[in-house]
Amino acid sequence: MNTELTITTERIDDFPLLLATMQRLGLPEILDRHLKRHGLHQGLSWGWIGSIWLAHILSQGDHRKLPVQAWMRQAQETIVRITGLPGLSELDFTDDRLTKLLERLSNPLTWREIEQALGQSLIRVYELMPQRIRLDATTVSGYHTGTASELLQFGHSKDDPGLRQVKVMMATLDPLGMPLATEVVAGNQADDGGILSVV
């Protein structure tokens, strides 16, 4: 008995990771809570349209509305498997549907509420009992041109004194390595700057 095998090939790039991160942050639910659906709205909710479109923008580096529908067509099976959305259709990503989403997001009050709700799921507060704080400094150098007023400057360098550099100072909480404060200074400054007064 011969069975015909159907193979679907989709280019996935990094958007599965982006979509999974947005799901973990609760972005689709937050958008849905603040972007109410019209009674006649069919298809995906605004939260899922916005999240999938944002994954497209970040993955493809293209904010235009026009290519989204074609991209959706070639990545549809992967998106369905990641999101579990059975009724996914490329028609949810037409120019006019994306324009309506942008119009809803352009309301300053709505945007502020979305940012506030998203911030609540991102910010964590810890009650820590620090015993030790580690101060560390490193230099980052490169082949840059510049003036005396710019951040990249010539300074004492263990790598190559002929390259401009910046110095990055960081205070971290031991043993977690949790960053407490970071300061970036010009390469011609000492690495014992103002970060010590912060800590």
Tens digit of pLDDT for each residue in 91-121?
889 999 999 999 999 999 999 999 999 888 7
Token digits of residue 95: 């120019």
Say what the pLDDT of residue 180 is: 79
Q: Whole-angstrom Cα distance, residue 43 to residue 29?
A: 16
User: In angstroms, how far is CA 3 from the centroid of its own chain?
Assistant: 44
For residue range 109-164, list pLDDT tens digits in order. Answer: 999 999 999 888 777 777 777 778 887 777 777 777 777 667 777 767 677 777 88
Least confident window among 53-57, 114-118, 120-124, 187-191: 187-191
- Residue 63: CB atoms within 10 A of its CB come to 11
Q: Whole-angstrom Cα distance, residue 180 to residue 199?
A: 8
Concatenated DSSP letters of 99-168 = HHHHHHHT-HHHHHHHHHHHHHHH--------SEEEEEEEEEEES----TTSS-B----SS-TTSEEEEE
Q: Whole-angstrom Cα distance, residue 174 to residue 89?
A: 49
Q: What pTM was computed for the model?
A: 0.60
Between residues 180 and 60, the one the model is more confident about: 60
Query: Domain limits of the chain?
Result: 15-122, 132-198
82 three-state secondary structure: helix
54, pLDDT greater than 90? yes
Determine the average pLDDT of the residues in 63-87.
87
- Per cent of the chain over pLDDT 70 is 90
Between residues 19 and 87, the one the model is more confident about: 19
Token digits of residue 196: 């010590």
Say what the pLDDT of residue 34 is: 93
CA angle, residues 107, 104, 13, in degrees to nearest 5 = 115
